[in-house]
Amino acid sequence: MTELAPKYVVAPSTTSDGARGASSGGTSTAGPVGRFDRWTEKRWFLPLGEAVASVAVALGFILLCTRIDVDPVSRIGQVSGLAKVQQYVALIGLPVLALLLLLAHRGTLRHYRVAQRLVCAALVGLATGIVAGGTAVALNGTPWGLGGQEGDPGVLMGMANDMMRHKSLPGVYPPLFPALLALWAKVFHHGIAGVGHALKDLQLILSALVGPMAYLAWRMLLRPFWAMAIAVPASLVFLDPIRPYSHGSMLVLLPLLAACFREVRRAEQLSTRSLVLRGLGFGTAFGVMFLWYSGWYLWAAPGAFVLGLLLFPWRRGRVAITRALILLGTVLVTAAVIGAPLLYQLVRLGATTKDRYAYINTYLDPAYVLGWASDRTGELSHHNFPASGELAGQTGFGVLLLLGVGIGVGLGLRNLLVRTAGFVLAGAWLLRFHFASRMEQTQAVQLYPRTTWIIFYCLIVLAVLGVILTYERVFGWIRGTLEEVAPDRAARISPRVMSRLTAGLICAIALFATMGGSWSANRFMPSTNPGVEDMGLDALRAHMQQLDNGKCPKYSPYKGKQACRPINMKLSAYAFVPDQPHLWCANTGTTDYQLVCGRGSKH
């Protein structure tokens, strides 16, 4: 909400400490309506301001961090770079938070609420800007992106190269990001020769934009503080700078589904023209996201389908049913038309496509969904990860998270957001165990470990909704009780008091964002542990790839023209080979891979 307090709070226009107040609607009583008030009363002005603030802070912070010149291959250089990032955060964030606190205590409520909206939006952009800025530090001195030309980044470059060679993509991979990579390389980096440099640009830009995307999606349903309360932790937990497009689409999909279901519920109140326009908007969003990254649609589909059947107005009469069908039909047709290229490939090849790549997350207890490990495991194995908690293996964080989930479901079972997150979670949960239980028989993983992310995301959302509902119930009860027994005390619970509380909590979330962002960026610093493949390996590879002149990058651990890996100008997408009907097991040694994956597997 705009404040922590519900919208129905009413308070006098002045406060006990003499600060200027406002009416319950937040309108300043200090004088006649001025230019500021006229602009902020426009319906589009503040939402646009939030979007601009969030995106501008995210991208601007990347540009600022590109000025940091340290040796990212040495640990001292990495620490110095991360510290400089934090210094920039403090120089930007402290004045902004100070202004917010000043307005909460001394300004008008109208000015404070406008500032709060912009600060919440900017804070989310800054959170993922820190991760992107730290990644820019990790790649200082090399034009290559994370991964160099190896692994998944190399495959993406190959797809983009094939597009520039006017070839079609094989398989069922979503084509929109490779197409954007090809376009970016052609416009800014001279085509195929610079596709690796283009990938670095997009890794940094899209990493920074993950937070604003999540925040703006949740703003369709929640007010600024609560949208920020979901977007900041979710973005920091799930952001993967190597493939930022993947998890960004997951963060947007859930609120987009909830917003679409909201329109279905109120379809009978809208005109046919409005329904068609809304259907075109949602259909376009779903179709573009499907081409951007389609994997989350599979995991969300069962729960979304069942919830859609339950929310459909079967018993509200012919008019309601007709209008709901117009909306849903427009959404589905628009999404299908936009996503047709990938839908065709899925229909043609989907049933025969097998994922046989097993790694550390495949070896974990399948009921563990509160964390994951990269296949750059470092010193982790399924023997020591995850760390066992105090209560039946569950950590204190896990117990508190589940407590919040229980409160959210208990108090908000009729709430559309609770239902959407709950049904998506349940559907992904069932698919997870369906594929995991058949893994030995089919010798196929089918990407089921990725359900960890969407399940964890739904749990975070439900827990935050539990906090929202608890606060509203408790606040409403206290307010109602005081109005009955002590009206004077009830009047003291004014919007001014809630503004101060909200401002303090925003400061706390800001501190969490800067600490969490630095933690995330630190994971991707070039590896300084020889012989250990941890998450810093991808940044290290970027420093071991030759430059266009044949030399090593500035801070490469290798020197001379022959030491670094040569540029592969013929890089192409993976060529399909005959399927081998057994698992390919990573993160195992030569002595234990059969004990991990079975006798029929391949190391």
> What digits encode the pLDDT tens for the residues 371-385?
999 888 888 888 899
Beta strands in 266-322 (DSSP E): none
Q: Taking residues 472-489, report their average pLDDT.
A: 77
243: closest CA among 452, 514, 524?
524
> What digits encode the pLDDT tens for the residues 77-103?
999 999 999 999 999 999 999 999 999
Lowest mean pLDDT among 22-26, 437-441, 578-582: 22-26
> What digits encode the pLDDT tens for the residues 19-46?
333 333 344 444 455 777 788 888 899 9
Q: Taking residues 380-397, report their average pLDDT.
A: 91
Position 399 pLDDT exceeds 80? yes
- Backbone phi and psi for residue 438, each to the nearest 5 degrees, phi listed first: -100, 5
Q: Taking residues 485-501, report their average pLDDT.
A: 75
Q: Is residue 137 within 8 Å of 521, Cβ to Cβ?
A: yes
Contact residues for 72 (Cβ-Cβ < 8 A; gap 6+) = 78, 81, 137, 138, 139, 140, 141, 525, 526, 539, 543, 555
Residue 170: predicted pLDDT: 73
Q: Taking residues 260-265, report their average pLDDT.
A: 96
Position 47 pLDDT exceeds 50? yes
Q: Taking residues 405-432, report their average pLDDT.
A: 97
Residue 49: predicted pLDDT: 96
Q: Is residue 420 within 8 Å of 260, Cβ to Cβ?
A: no
Confidence class of residue 576 from pLDDT cuts 50, 70 and 90? low
Position 603 pLDDT exceeds 60? no
Q: Is residue 467 within 8 Å of 404, Cβ to Cβ?
A: yes
Position 589 pLDDT exceeds 90? no
Confidence class of residue 9 from pLDDT cuts 50, 70 and 90? very low
At 426, which helix (H) or strand (E)? helix 416-437
Phi-psi map region of 394: left, alpha, beta (phi>0 left; psi -120 to 50 alpha): beta
For residues 588 and 250, the model is more confident at 250
> What digits encode the pLDDT tens for the residues 124-159?
999 999 999 999 999 999 999 999 999 899 999 999
Residue 18: predicted pLDDT: 36
Half-sphere exposure of 348 (CA within 13 A, CB side): 10
Position 8 pLDDT exceeds 70? no
516: closest CA among 252, 249, 234?
234
Query: Percent of the chain at pLDDT above 90?
Result: 71
Burial class (CB in 10 A: 0-12, 13-18, 19+), 305: exposed
Confidence class of residue 602 from pLDDT cuts 50, 70 and 90? low
What's the token pair of residue 98? 């100070």
For residues 47 and 348, the model is more confident at 47
Position 105 pLDDT exceeds 70? yes
Phi-psi map region of 429: left, alpha, beta (phi>0 left; psi -120 to 50 alpha): alpha
Contact residues for 39 (Cβ-Cβ < 8 A; gap 6+) = 45
One-character DSSP codes across 521-572: HHHTSPP-STT---TTHHHHHHTTB--TTSPPPTT-SS-STTTSBPP-TT--
297: closest CA among 263, 250, 261?
250
Position 390 pLDDT exceeds 60? yes
Q: Taking residues 330-335, report their average pLDDT.
A: 98
Position 325 pLDDT exceeds 90? yes
Q: Taking residues 507-520, report their average pLDDT.
A: 98
* Token pair 């997408």 in the structure block, residue: 573
Considering the chain, what is the average pLDDT of its residues? 89
Position 225 pLDDT exceeds 80? yes
Per DSSP, the three-state class of 389 is: strand
Residue 529: predicted pLDDT: 82
Spatial separation of the C-alpha atoms in residues 550 and 13, rounded to whole Å? 71
- Backbone phi and psi for residue 22, each to the nearest 5 degrees, phi listed first: -150, 165
Position 448 pLDDT exceeds 80? yes
Residue 560: predicted pLDDT: 64
Half-sphere exposure of 391 (CA within 13 A, CB side): 7
> Which neighbouring-strand residues pair with 391?
394
Spatial separation of the C-alpha atoms in residues 334 and 337, rounded to whole Å? 5
For residues 171 and 282, the model is more confident at 282
Contact residues for 518 (Cβ-Cβ < 8 A; gap 6+) = 82, 85, 86, 130, 134
Q: Taking residues 523-531, report their average pLDDT.
A: 88
Position 582 pLDDT exceeds 60? yes
Residue 14: predicted pLDDT: 36
Handedness of CA 511, 513, 519, 524 (dihedral sign): negative
Spatial separation of the C-alpha atoms in residues 424 and 434, rounded to whole Å? 15
Burial class (CB in 10 A: 0-12, 13-18, 19+), 399: middle
Q: Taking residues 485-511, report their average pLDDT.
A: 83
